[in-house]
Structure 1
Amino acid sequence: MIQLEDMRLLTQTLDSGSFTAAAERAGVSKQYISRRIMALEAQLGTQLLIRTTRHLRPTDLGRAYADQARAILQQVAELEQSITGASQSPRGHLRVTAPMSFGTLHLSGLLARFLGAHPEVSIEIELNDRVVDLHGEGYDLAIRIGALADSSLIARRIAPMEMVACCSPSYLRYRDAPKVPSDLQQHDCLLYGHGSLVEWHFGARGHEKIRLQGRLRANNGELVRDAAVQGMGIAYLPTFIVDPELASGQLVTILDDYRLASSAVYAVYPQHRQSSPLLSAFCDFLSQELSIRSGKSMS
């Protein structure tokens, strides 16, 4: 039990950024936390933290140990919940990663509501558009958009989603609308993604991939959307980013006959977390809330 408590103090120290902040959170002295972590380092025979007068950061081994310690502490909390019958009131810590635009547009308000309803839950969320290694980087859950690569992860559908090609009415006043996807290569395309070439996928008479270059490429969908509204070209974006602009007429869809079949937003998590009451409650909450929104502005 002492080692579990030392794990808890180490992770709280790293999460808080200092011994002082961790001590306030744990209700103990910073000297006590420092002594316990030094004892843990002595037991393991390795340095876990690099301490300077201004900064506190983990060594590489310390970071790896802390990631595993968080997972162990979470499993212990879930075991306690299952034994005490407290699974109806989730508690524990959840590390989540989500795409930047989806997170800012749809998760920011929902997270506050979920935390407000579950006072014993804490959430750490990172927003970025790269594909995160959940196992290697210690995340409990990822929000992913569209088609999923085959993997050992479990994927739960939490909201509908479509990809649409769109532009402003002003763009079409001086350029003819493309009739087939290959016509896009003659247009100003606003690219959302990474790399010098970006692929846009279309359907109708089979799956068609169009590789495009453009004068503007960004890793943020809202920036690309705003450029399209300003008449700079054609964008290819998820409906959850452009629905308000489509509804207001600032953007119009093109190539509607070539849309892919509706896709979805997924919550993805490792198999060993599928019995987690906290993760299940969070996925249930997102599915319910986003399903309500889907009838209004997400699909």
Structure 2
Amino acid sequence: MTSSRWLLLGAVIFTFLAWASAFVVIRGVGPYLDGGPLALGRLAIGTFALGTAVLLARSWVWPTKREWGQLVIVGVAWFGAYNVALNTAEQTLDAGTAAMIVGIGPILIALGAGLFLGEGIPKWLSIGAAVAFAGVVLIGVGTMLAQGGARPLDLVGAVLALIAAVTYAIGVIAQKPVTRHIPAIQATFLACAIGFVVCLPFSGLLVAQLAVAPASAWWGTVYLGVVPTALAFTTWAYALGRMPAGQLGIASYLSPPLATVMGLLAFGEIPHPLALAGGVVGLLGVAISRRKARVPVAA
């Protein structure tokens, strides 16, 4: 394997490890910060960290008018709406149900990339997406069973989680063309800054809630801004510029099993056997999506 392929693999692995850890940290910070204020705090720190990195790099590619429009879509949809919707949904939904609903996102990415980015929808990608989504459903059901039985689904939380899935897919599809011309760290910085501006109405709540929050909530917000946002979104943009959006989106099914293991280590939660089986199925779906169709050899 060449050095560039190792670098790409490292970027993908780091991205999903960081995003999986974000679910655990959000859960720890959630009792002290509401969904909107938490999103604003995370994006403020992420924007500062990314802006500093861009200044140090001293490389700037001016986006075209079309690319500015795409960056606005990414910033508003993925960095802004997605974070607020998901943070708020997880305050009324258990993590398994939220993950099950947001798990629709990669399928929407694969379909959207095929329809709007000309990537097509290969047979193995479709099969892998279906298998991986089945794994996410098993994780969600297993998580609810581990909590003592399925409880009534909160309609508002479910709708917010669905909004998070849709905005996630919209953001990825809009970001893909930008990464062909704009450096990954610059594209991430601009989108994060736009998301930060979108979340500014939550400034008053953020100040009020941080004033009474413990130090752990402060450090959790800093971690979310630096690692899952500044670093992981940059490595994601790097990978997105070098592989199909649909294929990379399906690989995000790696996050649920990783988050399950991290939740066990952080909170001492023992996953339900059905959730563990779902993690295995999800990984199988990712492997299937990587297969390539056989090309007939001419006689």
Does the alignment reach a TM-score above 0.5? Answer: no
Task: Calculate the TM-score normalised by the size of structure 2.
Answer: 0.23
> Which structure carries more helix by proportion?
2
> Which structure carries more strand by proportion?
1
- Bigger relative CO (Cα 8 Å, ≥ 6 apart): 2
Highest CA radius of gyration, 1 or 2?
1
